[in-house]
Amino acid sequence: MGANKSERALVQEWRDVLALHARTTCELDRALHPHGLGASDFEVLDVLAERASADGDLACRVQELAGRVHLSQSALSRLIARLEKDGLVVRAMCPEDRRGVRVQLTDAGRERHAEVLPVQREVLTRMLEETG
């Protein structure tokens, strides 16, 4: 028994969302590469910068970041290690829970984020306007 028309439309809509995500991520990677970042790298910097400007808390727990950037804990840990090696973030133990790790932008991380923010936003605007 085949899927009814509404199920096929739902599946097609889902596949369209996935395709837009894939195209946008590729465009972001291409645009951010000259700045030494990938789309996921920038997303971590952006979440940290957004958090710092919203409530003044400069650090964010890794678990919280994982939920915001949609990466597995292990993939995010590797990404944070690269950003730390590049001097863009620092990691420290959570004072309230020694099992947790907090991540914070460095001055260099804030500068790189500010430099690349217009590039990322331009790609998002272009890619998402194509669908509207």
126 contact partners, CB below 8 Å, separation of at least 6? 27
* Higher-pLDDT residue of 3, 25: 25
CA distance 110 to 49: 7
**What is the per-residue pLDDT across 50-105, written as a single tens digit (0 to 9) for each?**
887 766 667 888 888 988 998 888 899 999 999 999 999 999 887 776 667 889 99
* CATH number of the domain to which 40 belongs: 1.10.10.10
Q: Say what the pTM is.
A: 0.86
What residue numbers bound the domain in which 59 lies?
Answer: 5-131
Number of domains in the chain: 1
**What is the per-residue pLDDT across 29-64, written as a single tens digit (0 to 9) for each?**
999 999 999 999 999 999 999 887 766 667 888 888
